[in-house]
């Protein structure tokens, strides 16, 4: 008589367990106080999933030019045409001479190519969190991988511009042998280091703007005007040597000022970057990645609530 109730209780418990086994799991996202997670595990997980960022960058590049007839030709064609327009404004309309025309064009070209690299890092990275909402809500991973993927994509878009730039310089030297643009010198070994610093600076600023875009969605629209003003304030349409005395401080208050000045010295003058330029480039890269990283990582656990 006592065994029947036990069997009935056991069956009820089994049915209860079966129901719980198929019950949906609900994740609750709540706002939290901004604070850094344990950095060592975070960075270890970030490094372990770096391949994910690379694959995401490849997918983004394919999707971006899927409906375009010229495809990735626009990566070079767009800054090239823009450089020609600026060249006309700077030289022809202002009565520039032909003997320094190729030098001016070379300076504008390499400045635009470098600036566009940083700009793509920042603008694409700023949208990476808000555009990756479903991925953020359904997967657990370091969110910094999304702006990092945008920086990888920007670097891949920057690479094809260098052979085009070298080709333009070679043609220019053949047409104007008296041009001041030098040939290949050993100072070009500094180019990869400068490109790396541009990428680090762009990635750090992308982290900051991506966080701002989560809380204030108009950041992306304002960023377009900000980048245009930044372009005109950078030594691209004007030479760094135009600044003298204390006015040169303006160059180093610009996150890309020392980089663009050093780039011009290498490609146009055939000289190595000076000590002030190295200090400026390293300082801005370190400042951007530390402050941008802190601002982003300390708030990324709140992104799922805000998206």
Per-residue pLDDT, 256:
94
Residue range 256-293, pLDDT digits in tens:
999 999 998 888 888 889 999 999 999 999 999 999 99
Question: What is the spatial distance between Cα 199 and Cα 204, in angstroms, rounded to a whole number?
Answer: 9
Per-residue pLDDT, 197:
96
Question: What is the spatial distance between Cα 265 and Cα 277, in angstroms, rounded to a whole number?
Answer: 10
The closest alpha carbon to 146, from 298, 286, 297, 29, belongs to: 297
Question: What is the spatial distance between Cα 67 and Cα 40, in angstroms, rounded to a whole number?
Answer: 42
Question: What is the spatial distance between Cα 242 and Cα 107, in angstroms, rounded to a whole number?
Answer: 14
Per-residue pLDDT, 32:
59
User: In the chain, how many domains are there?
Assistant: 1
Per-residue pLDDT, 68:
56
Question: What is the spatial distance between Cα 271 and Cα 291, in angstroms, rounded to a whole number?
Answer: 32
Is the residue at 29 inside a domain?
no
Backbone angles phi and psi of 274, in degrees to 5: -85, 175
Is the residue at 246 inside a domain?
yes
What is the model's pTM?
Answer: 0.80
Question: What is the spatial distance between Cα 123 and Cα 212, in angstroms, rounded to a whole number?
Answer: 12
The closest alpha carbon to 287, from 262, 250, 255, belongs to: 255
Question: What is the spatial distance between Cα 121 and Cα 202, in angstroms, rounded to a whole number?
Answer: 5
Backbone angles phi and psi of 120, in degrees to 5: -65, -40
The closest alpha carbon to 140, from 67, 227, 42, 235, belongs to: 42
Give the chain's radius of gyration (CA, Å). Answer: 26
Is the residue at 6 inside a domain?
no
Is the residue at 19 inside a domain?
no
Is the residue at 24 inside a domain?
no
Whether residue 243 contacts residue 250, with contact meaning beta carbons closer than 8 Å, is answered with: yes
Is the residue at 9 inside a domain?
no
Whether residue 252 contacts residue 258, with contact meaning beta carbons closer than 8 Å, is answered with: yes
Is the residue at 20 inside a domain?
no
Question: What is the spatial distance between Cα 171 and Cα 209, in angstroms, rounded to a whole number?
Answer: 40
Per-residue pLDDT, 3:
45
Range of the domain at 285: 36-306
Is the residue at 92 inside a domain?
yes
Tens digit of pLDDT at every position of the chain (307 positions): 444 444 444 455 444 444 444 445 444 445 556 677 788 989 999 999 888 888 888 877 766 665 555 556 666 777 777 777 887 777 766 665 544 677 788 888 889 999 999 999 999 999 988 887 777 777 778 889 999 999 999 998 898 888 888 887 777 666 666 666 666 678 889 999 999 999 999 999 999 999 999 998 888 889 989 999 999 999 998 888 888 878 888 889 999 999 999 998 888 888 889 999 999 999 999 999 999 999 999 888 888 777 7
């Amino acid at each position: 008589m006592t065994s029947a109730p036990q069997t009935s209780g056991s069956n009820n418990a089994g049915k209860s367990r079966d129901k719980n086994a198929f019950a949906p799991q609900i994740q609750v996202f709540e706002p939290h106080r901004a604070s850094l997670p344990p950095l060592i595990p975070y960075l270890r997980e970030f490094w372990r999933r770096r391949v994910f960022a690379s694959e995401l960058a490849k997918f983004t590049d394919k999707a971006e030019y899927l409906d375009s007839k010229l495809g990735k030709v626009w990566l070079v064609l767009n800054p090239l045409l823009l450089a020609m327009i600026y060249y006309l404004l700077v030289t022809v309309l202002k009565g520039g001479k032909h003997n320094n025309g190729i030098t001016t064009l070379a300076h504008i070209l390499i400045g635009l190519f470098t600036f566009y690299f940083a700009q793509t890092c920042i603008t694409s990275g700023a949208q990476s969190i808000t555009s990756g909402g479903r991925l953020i809500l359904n997967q657990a991973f370091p969110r910094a991988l999304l702006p990092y993927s945008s920086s990888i994509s920007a670097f891949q878009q920057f690479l094809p511009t260098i052979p085009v730039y070298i080709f333009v310089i070679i043609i220019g030297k053949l047409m104007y042998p008296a041009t001041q643009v030098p040939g290949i010198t050993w100072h070009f070994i500094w180019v990869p280091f400068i490109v790396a610093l541009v990428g680090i600076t762009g990635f750090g600023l992308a982290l900051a703007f991506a966080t701002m875009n989560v809380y204030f969605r108009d950041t992306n629209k304002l960023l377009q005007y900000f980048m245009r003003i930044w372009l005109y304030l950078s030594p691209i349409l004007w030479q760094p040597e135009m600044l003298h005395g204390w006015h040169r401080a303006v160059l180093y208050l610009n996150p890309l000022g020392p980089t663009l000045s050093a780039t011009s010295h290498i490609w146009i003058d055939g000289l190595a970057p000076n000590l002030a330029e190295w200090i400026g480039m390293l300082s801005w890269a370190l400042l951007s990645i530390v402050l941008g990283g802190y601002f982003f990582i300390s708030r990324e656990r709140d992104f799922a609530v805000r998206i």
